[in-house]
């Protein structure tokens, strides 16, 4: 079995989780992290290069004899990192630039779903030229009004508004005042769907697919799902309401047409499709978003439940050999609780000295925004760490994750003590 040198792009908790899973693989020779964080640096060698500096990455690939690149965040994928290295014969875990539009353009994703009869909220696309039509559309439909910036907006580009006046002024702000820069030059107005959300992660090599553990994340900053949207304050896997029957329906009506649609349209996809879903009370599903990468912090609950080789899984997807990969999933439940810095998701302090609890066998601390300053561990982001625990049921994994999250110390540290509240 040939061992590999792997270059992992990204610096968050998701990438620490990938690094940890890769480090357990007998196929790993050396792991390089561009740029990683203080947690992942104990598992591999940091390289000082931005994930979107493709020329810089190419130098590292050559110098360090990299066999495989795994991409954590969406930005390099949307900017074409797959295509750049495909030309250089380096396998990349992630979709091509054309396929990454599933995340990079909400309008593209909606049109894709409509071409392939994938259930999703009805919508209208609006630009400066059709602004008046967009306003009339808002007047015709009833609230709440869902406005989505077409392009990437670091998870902030979705506005949900109760009043028509607010919706109209927000639509104008997004398009004319460029509230989210170029990303909101085009806006998707979507029908509001009521129900419970969960996410499925589908590993694909473009032909075959494997369904990874499902998860539910908690996006709002405040307890009781209040306050601003964040990248995610915690996650559980599996959400108990996602029955086998539900997954059968999701596979048939969403996963299969997605993978087949990508294939039919010649959209090269060697990675993970993250499908955000709403399950309505009537039992229907709607896709509310596609992402072209793993979720953060969902990865911190998805990967620890995979007992087969995760590096092998990603490599098999990247090299179109997923058919021969045998995926095994643990029956244990996983929960993760993010410890964030006061002020997040708005302005927050960095460089705060931190003290972490001692390592323990039943919980793991994934670093998200951390670095070393001289010999000291300091914060380096809004989401600072996420604590994952496994348990025989969600309640025990949640209890343990929260207990350890409460022991993480830095000035202004906070976490949502109600992650998983619906399930306990």
Question: Which residues of this chain interact with ligand AMP, rule CB under 6 A?
Answer: 121, 146, 155, 158, 160, 190, 192-193, 197, 219, 276, 288-289
From ligand GLY, ligand AMP, none, interface partner of 86 (C-beta below 5 to 8 A by class):
none
Residue closest to ligand AMP (Cβ): 289
Q: Closest Cα partner for 415 from 396, 387, 394? A: 387
CB of residue 262 vs ligand GLY: minimum separation in angstroms?
Answer: 20
Determine the length of the chain: 424
For ligand GLY, give the closer residue by CB, 126 or 337.
Answer: 337
Secondary structure of the chain: what % helix, strand, coil (to 5)?
30, 30, 40
Q: What angle do CA 14, 99, 46 make, to 5 degrees?
A: 35
From ligand AMP, ligand GLY, none, interface partner of 217 (C-beta below 5 to 8 A by class):
ligand GLY
From ligand GLY, ligand AMP, none, interface partner of 423 (C-beta below 5 to 8 A by class):
none
Asked if residue 144 has a cis previous peptide bond (ω within 30° of 0), the answer is yes
State yes or no: residue 103 binds ligand GLY (CB under 6 A): no
From ligand GLY, ligand AMP, none, interface partner of 164 (C-beta below 5 to 8 A by class):
none
Total residues in contact with ligand GLY, by rule CB under 6 A: 8
> CA 325, CA 118: separation in Å to the nearest integer?
27
Q: Count Cβ neighbours within 10 Å for each residue of 329-338 and write b for 16 or more, e otherwise.
A: beebbbbbbb
For ligand AMP, give the closer residue by CB, 279 or 363.
Answer: 279
CB of residue 232 vs ligand GLY: minimum separation in angstroms?
Answer: 3
> CA 148, CA 183: separation in Å to the nearest integer?
10
Binding mask 140-159 for ligand GLY (x = CB under 6 A): ---------------x----
> CA 176, CA 276: separation in Å to the nearest integer?
29
Residues whose CB falls within 8 Å of the CB of residue 145, separated by 6 or more in sequence, listed in order:
138, 160, 161, 162, 164, 166, 167, 189, 192
Binding mask 181-220 for ligand GLY (x = CB under 6 A): ------------------------------------x---
For ligand GLY, give the closer residue by CB, 36 or 231.
Answer: 231
CB of residue 24 vs ligand GLY: minimum separation in angstroms?
Answer: 23
From ligand GLY, ligand AMP, none, interface partner of 418 (C-beta below 5 to 8 A by class):
none
State yes or no: residue 105 binds ligand GLY (CB under 6 A): no
How many other C-beta atoms lie within 10 A of the C-beta of residue 282? 7
State yes or no: residue 298 binds ligand GLY (CB under 6 A): yes
Residue 234 Cα distances to 171, 199, 258, 373, 411, angstroms: 30, 13, 27, 27, 20
Tokens at 255, concatenated: 């996963």
- Give me the half-sphere count of Cα atoms (radius 13 Å) on the Cβ side of residue 351: 2
State yes or no: residue 381 binds ligand GLY (CB under 6 A): no
State yes or no: residue 295 binds ligand GLY (CB under 6 A): yes
CB of residue 247 vs ligand GLY: minimum separation in angstroms?
Answer: 20
> CA 53, CA 58: separation in Å to the nearest integer?
9
Residues of this chain that interact with ligand GLY (CB under 6 A) are 155, 217, 231-232, 291, 295-296, 298
């Amino acid at each position: 079995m040939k061992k590999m040198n792997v270059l992992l792009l990204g610096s968050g908790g998701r990438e620490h989780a990938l690094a940890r899973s890769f480090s357990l693989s007998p196929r790993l020779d050396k792991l390089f992290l561009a740029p990683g964080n203080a947690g992942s640096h104990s598992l591999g060698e940091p390289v000082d290069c931005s994930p979107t500096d493709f020329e810089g990455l190419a130098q590292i690939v050559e110098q360090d004899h990299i066999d495989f690149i795994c991409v954590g965040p969406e930005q390099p994928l949307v900017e074409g990192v797959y295509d750049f290295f495909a030309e250089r014969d380096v396998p990349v875990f992630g979709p091509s630039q054309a396929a990454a539009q599933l995340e990079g353009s909400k309008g593209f994703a909606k049109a894709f779903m409509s071409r392939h009869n994938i259930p999703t909220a009805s919508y209208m696309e609006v630009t400066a030229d059709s602004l008046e039509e967009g306003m009339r559309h808002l007047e015709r439909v009833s609230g709440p009004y869902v406005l989505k910036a077409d392009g990437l907006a670091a998870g902030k580009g979705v506005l949900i508004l109760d009043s028509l006046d607010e919706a109209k002024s927000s639509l104008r702000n997004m398009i004319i005042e460029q509230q989210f820069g170029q990303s909101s030059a085009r806006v998707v107005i979507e029908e509001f769907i009521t129900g419970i959300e969960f996410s499925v992660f589908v590993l694909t090599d473009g032909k075959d697919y494997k369904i990874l553990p499902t998860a539910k994340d908690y996006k709002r900053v405040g307890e009781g799902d209040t306050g601003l949207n964040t990248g995610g304050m915690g996650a559980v896997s599996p959400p108990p309401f996602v029955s086998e029957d539900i997954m059968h329906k999701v596979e048939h009506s969403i996963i299969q047409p997605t993978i087949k649609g990508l294939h039919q349209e010649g959209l090269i996809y060697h990675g993970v499709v993250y499908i955000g879903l709403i399950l309505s009370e009537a039992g229907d599903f709607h896709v509310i978003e596609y992402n072209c990468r793993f979720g953060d912090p969902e990865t911190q609950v998805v990967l620890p439940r995979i007992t087969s080789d995760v590096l092998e899984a990603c490599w098999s997807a990247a090299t179109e050999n997923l058919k021969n990969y045998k995926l095994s999933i643990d029956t244990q439940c996983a929960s993760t609780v993010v410890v964030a810095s006061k002020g997040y998701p708005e302005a927050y302090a960095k460089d705060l000295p931190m003290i972490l609890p001692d390592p323990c066998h039943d919980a793991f601390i994934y670093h998200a925004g951390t670095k070393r300053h001289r010999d000291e561990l300091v914060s380096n982001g809004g989401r600072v760490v996420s604590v994952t625990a496994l348990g025989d049921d969600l309640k025990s994994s949640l209890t343990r994750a929260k207990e350890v999250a409460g022991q993480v110390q830095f000035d202004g540290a906070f976490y949502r003590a109600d992650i998983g509240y619906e399930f306990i």
